[in-house]
Structure 1
Amino acid sequence: MSDSKLREDLCFWAASLFDRGLTGGASGNISVRTPDGGLFVTPTGVSLGRLDPAALSRFDAQGNHIDGPAPTKEMPLHSAFYETRTNAGAVVHLHSTHSVALSMLPETDPEDAIPPLTAYAVMRVGKVALLPFFVPGDPAMADALRGLGGRRSAVLLANHGPVVASKDLEAAVFAMEELEETAKLALLLRGTGARPLRGDQIAQVVDKFKLDWD
C-alpha cells in the first residue's frame, strides 16, 4: 500500500471512530506501519475527527521522528507494542467510555479484563490485561506493556482507556470496536447472572480459528 493511501486510511478510520463518539476532543491516538518499516502517527493535541493526511507525524524504521508535527505523547506505548508484537501493523488507543468505566471497577480481573461474552470478543480481541494507572505519556506505561512479553494484543489502562494492536489498521479498528462493545455488554449485564462463554465453548472458537489463548 502506498504512503498516500496509508495516510488517507488512517485519517478515514480516525474520523470514523471520532464521529461515532468512541473518543472525544483531542483524545486518542493511532499509528500504522509504512512499507519501509517506519510509522505514520497521529500528532499530539489534534482531534481524531480533524486529521490532515499531509500533517501526520512520520518515523523511520529505527524509531526516529523524521517528518511532520510532534507525535502523540503516547509514542512510548505504541513503540512497546511494536517491539513485543512483531506482527503488529497498527496500534489504536482510545478513551472510549465503557472500556474506561470497566477499568475502574474493583472486580475487573487484571489478567482478563474483558469477559469472553461472545465468540467475536474471543476472535478479535482475545484476553485483555488491565494495567495500573500511569500519568499519560509516562514511559513506565510502556515498560508495563513490555512486561507482558507480547502475550496480549490488547490492554486496558486503568482510568484511561484501551489500546489494541493488530495486523493492519482495519483489523485494529475492528478489534477496538469489539472491545468497546464487549465492555458495554459487561456493564449492562452486571448483576443479572448472565453467563459468559464456557471454557469448552471458548476452546471451540480458538480451535476453529487457530487463535492464541492462554
Structure 2
Amino acid sequence: MQQLIRPSRSELRIDVDQSGDSIEAELDLLYGRLKTPGNAMNHCTRLSALRPGLLFHHREADGEHYVYVEDVARRRLAGYTVFNRLIEVDRRTDRYVRSPHSKYATVYQGRGIASAIYDWALGRGFCLVSGARQSEGAHALWRSLARRHPLRWIALRGKRMHDLGSDVAPASAAELDTRMLLLGRGFSVAGLRSRGLLHSCHERADRAGDMSCRSY
C-alpha cells in the first residue's frame, strides 16, 4: 500500500493573501451571472450535493472545470473552485492533470467545501498539481487531502513532470518549479511512469548537471 504523505507547513511557499472584500465583490458579480438567463454560467450542470445545504454548479470551458457553490437560503455564492490547465506541461500530460484554485467568502472557509470539490475531481480521475504559491488556507487543505490521497513531489521542467519522490529537502521544496501532485482515482506512480506522464528527475539532473532533484 502506498504511503500517504502529510507535507509540513515549512515545506511550501505560503505567501498568498486574499482580501475578503475583493472576494465578496467578485462573488456578488458571479452570482448575478449565475442567475442571468442566457449567460454561460446560467447553463451550468448541477452536481450531487457534496455538502448539505449548498448547491454545486459545474461547467467546463476549454478543458477547464469550474464549480460554483451556491447558498440558496442566503441567495449568494459561497465561493468557487476552478481546475485550470497547466501551461507548464505538454499535451499528453494536459489530458490528466489540473491545477485547482479556490476562492470562498470568509464565513464559508474551514467548512470542508473546497475539500469536497477536490475529492470530486480526484474521484473523476484528475491528478491535481499545486500552484507555485499558496495561501495558508490552501496549504492546510493540501495537508488534509494528503491524508487520504497518494501524494508525490514533482518538478515541472521542460513541459514534463519529474518525480522528486515522497519527500524533498526544504531547499528543493522552496523552488518555484517544485509542486505537490495528488493522484486521482485509478492512478499510481507506476501507472504514471508507464504512460510517460511522470519522468525520472535524476535522469534530467544528470543531463543538466543539476543536483536539486535528489530526494531525502
Normalised by the length of structure 1, the TM-score is 0.26
Normalising by structure 2, report the TM-score: 0.26
Considering fraction of residues, name the structure with more helix.
1
> Which one has a bigger Cα radius of gyration?
2
Give the strand-richer structure, 1 or 2.
Answer: 2
